Homo-oligomer: A and B are copies of this chain.
Amino acid sequence: MSTLSVEVNQVDGMQLLARTGSGFAFVMDSTKDNGGLDEGPRPKEVLLTALAGCTAMDVISILKKMQEPIQRLVVKVEGETAEEHPKYVKKISLTYIAYGNVKEDNLKKAVELSQEKYCGVSATLRPDIEKHISWEIHP
């Protein structure tokens, strides 16, 4: 078991400064229409960023263990929210873009291992989210 901690401090209106237990800080904010200053990402974007980051780290690590010549990985995530409250993210598309002469089978396997076994962020999300996964290789 490991313990995580974060806190958010209201700065002005909806603008928040987040501080994490690992010692880093960043701003989250809302649009001006919603009482924010529009100076930082929205919480739901931050949620999808956590997912992208978690699975990207997994895939980089697994491809390295497979001795695949991964030069750089980009993960793009799109989300669609429900129409009614609570406006949760009901649909997520993940695209993995690998730069380097990586074997497609191994990229596919790394992505599946992340989504099914390793990615703690993915496993913290509700299981009924509709997920679409794709990948591209740029040798």
Chain A residues proximal to chain B, CB less than 8 Å: 1-10, 13-14, 16, 18, 20-22, 24, 26-28, 30, 34-35, 38-54, 56-57, 60-61, 72-83, 85-89, 117-127, 129
A98 → B minimal CB distance (Å):
10
Interface residues of A: mostly helix, strand, loop or mixed?
mixed
**Are A124 and B88 in contact (CB-based, < 8 A)?**
yes
**Are B46 and A81 in contact (CB-based, < 8 A)?**
no
Point out the residues of chain B lying under 8 angstroms from A76, CB to CB. 5-7
Point out the residues of chain B lying under 8 angstroms from A27, CB to CB. 24
Alpha-carbon distance between A88 and B125 when the two chains are bound, in angstroms: 9
**Are B1 and A44 in contact (CB-based, < 8 A)?**
no
CB nearest to A21 among chain B residues:
B45
A48 → B minimal CB distance (Å):
5
Point out the residues of chain B lying under 8 angstroms from A72, CB to CB. 9-10
**Are B50 and A44 in contact (CB-based, < 8 A)?**
yes
Point out the residues of chain B lying under 8 angstroms from A6, CB to CB. 41, 45, 48-49, 52, 76-77
Alpha-carbon distance between A9 and B77 when the two chains are bound, in angstroms: 12
Alpha-carbon distance between A89 and B61 when the two chains are bound, in angstroms: 21
